[in-house]
Amino acid sequence: MQLVYILFIILAQFLGSVVNLYNSVWWYDLFAHFLAGVLTSVFALVVMDWFGVYKDKNKAFNVLFIISFSLMIASLWEFVEFGADTFLKMDVQHNLDTGVNDTMEDMLIAFFGSIIISVSYLIENKVSKSGFLKKVVENIK
C-alpha cells in the first residue's frame, strides 16, 4: 500500500507538476483525482477496520463512510489549492481559465472513484468471504 501511495505522489506531483503533464495532457488532472478518489476510498476501508466496523453488517453506513471520507479528502485538497491560489498568487485551480469548473471536475471525479470502490465493497461482501479489498485491508494491519 505504501508503494501505491508513493507511485501516486510520483504520478500526481512529479509527472503532473514537474514534467508538466497537467498542462500538456488534457485528461491528466482528471486521472490523478480519480486515482486519489480510489486510493482514499481504500484508505477509508482501512480506517473502518481500525475502528472495527469493516465487517459490520451495516453496509449502507459503510458505503456512506467510504464516499464521505473520500469527498472529505478531496475537499481538503481543494482547500490547499485555494490557499495556494490566494496566498501564493498561484493558479493551481485554473480560476483564470475555468472559474470553478476545475474544482468541480476534481471533486466529481474523486466521487466517481469512491463510487467504484463502494460498489466493489458491496459486491465483494455479498459474493465472497475473501476478495481484493479485504486482502488489502488485512495486509495493512
**pLDDT tens figures, 12-44:** 777 776 777 777 888 888 888 888 899 899 999
Residue 50 counted as domain residue? yes
Distances in Å between the Cα of 132 and the Cα atoms of 47, 123, 124, 137 are: 17, 11, 8, 9
Residue 39 counted as domain residue? yes
Phi/psi-derived region of residue 94, left when phi > 0, alpha when psi is between -120 and 50, beta in every other case: left
Query: How many domains are contained in the chain?
Result: 1
**What was the pLDDT predicted at 63?**
92
Residue 44 counted as domain residue? yes
Residue 15 counted as domain residue? no
Residue 70 counted as domain residue? yes
Q: Residue 70 pLDDT > 90, yes or no?
A: yes
Residue 14 counted as domain residue? no
What residue numbers bound the domain in which 135 lies?
26-140
Residue 114 counted as domain residue? yes
Residue 136 counted as domain residue? yes
